[in-house]
Structure 1
């Protein structure tokens, strides 16, 4: 069975909202879209290429899907490590409102069937491939609340905002993880890969 992985860009205070530009997600009056851009560097690009080299299929939330579908189909260079996979591999979108997806290879999954469909897709993929979630904040939180994320790639950028949607909201499940890989880019981005190990444990010093 393939594993489900989540790759997310975060500020130091855990904000994941609109990293790539102001228009991505201004909901809630968020004014700081594009906070990632000053820190994008070759180290970040290299890591993302490695991530996309492992993908077998994509699972995306509606907003992230719309952002991707508005850009990546126009990148037609087959050698592009990201576009080549996004444009050719299966894409599953968690949505109750998307009725007619125009991006080739897209399947819409409603909420009632999402968990069983995730299991089906993971079973169908080779064990060395990944069902990858990128961004997709609300979907990511839904998956984390149900222990469906096997591994997380957290790219933490050296900036904090004090506002915006965070990856880990109040009320999440107390969960323990192990660090499986770590690196830092020249721009100061800390990239950590964590594997879920079970419920968090507690003690006293």
Structure 2
């Protein structure tokens, strides 16, 4: 059975909208697209290449799928570390309206999300990878279908745009697996989903033991 692994680009204030270009996603009048571009150094490229090397298939939201499909099929070198896997491996796009996807190897997922994705994980050899697709990722996290989350945090605050985690998200605990920082300052952190949060208290005990003066 494959693992569902997500890679998401976010700003310090949690925005994931349109990291790659000004016209990528202008919903809500968003005019700050392309905010990840200045940080795309060799360290960043190596990390993306490492992630894609583990892919067995791709699960994408409709918007991200259309952005990818408009560009990557035109990169025909099978040795390209990004285009190679994206063009060769199975692609699944979650949509209730898409009828005839033009990108070879694409299947539309339009039924019950939990059942469909569970079945896809069971028949994927390697990682079933989600890239971008913030709204889909939130749904998958809420359904406890995500195994691992790569969060690439860019050193910029936008103050506007669609955020990954909003009010109403299912409380979730993560276990930190690894992390590093690129030369341009992007924090690359990998987390495994670890279930529900655990809670406690920093209250000090009552009585004579409380002699620290911190209360």
Q: With structure 1 as the length reference, what TM-score do the two structures score? A: 0.96
Q: Which residue number in structure 2 is paired with residue 185 of structure 1?
A: 182
Q: Matches of residues 139-178 of structure 1 in structure 2 within 5 Å?
A: 139-178=136-175
Shift of 1:125: 2.0
1-structure distance, mates of 2:135, 2:59: 12
Shift of 1:22: 1.1
Aligned: 1:60 with 2:64: no
Shift of 1:116: 1.4
2-structure distance, mates of 1:116, 1:204: 38
**1:22-63 superposed Cα distances (whole Å, 9 cap, x missing partner):** 111000111110010111111110000000000000000000
| Aligned positions, number | 202
Give the secondary structure class of the aligned counterpart of 1:198: coil
Q: Which residue number in structure 2 is paired with residue 12 of structure 1?
A: 12
Any conservation in 1 of the 2:15–2:160 contact (CA below 8 Å)? yes
Give the secondary structure class of the aligned counterpart of 2:178: strand
2-structure distance, mates of 1:120, 1:144: 16
After superposition, the CA RMSD in angstroms is: 0.8
Q: With structure 2 as the length reference, what TM-score do the two structures score? A: 0.92
1-structure distance, mates of 2:112, 2:81: 31
1-structure distance, mates of 2:9, 2:105: 25
Q: Matches of residues 41-190 of structure 1 in structure 2 within 5 Å?
A: 41-110=41-110, 112-126=111-125, 129-190=126-187
Structure 1 residue runs of 4+, over 4 Å off?
A: none
Shift of 1:153: 0.2
1-structure distance, mates of 2:199, 2:11: 27
Shift of 1:115: 1.8
**1:138-182 superposed Cα distances (whole Å, 9 cap, x missing partner):** 111111111111110000011011111111111111111111010
Aligned: 1:31 with 2:28: no
Any conservation in 1 of the 2:114–2:143 contact (CA below 8 Å)? no
Structure 1: state its 5+ residue gaps. Answer: none
2-structure distance, mates of 1:115, 1:175: 17
Q: Which has the larger radius of gyration?
A: 2
1-structure distance, mates of 2:118, 2:143: 13
Give the secondary structure class of the aligned counterpart of 1:64: helix
Any conservation in 1 of the 2:148–2:192 contact (CA below 8 Å)? yes
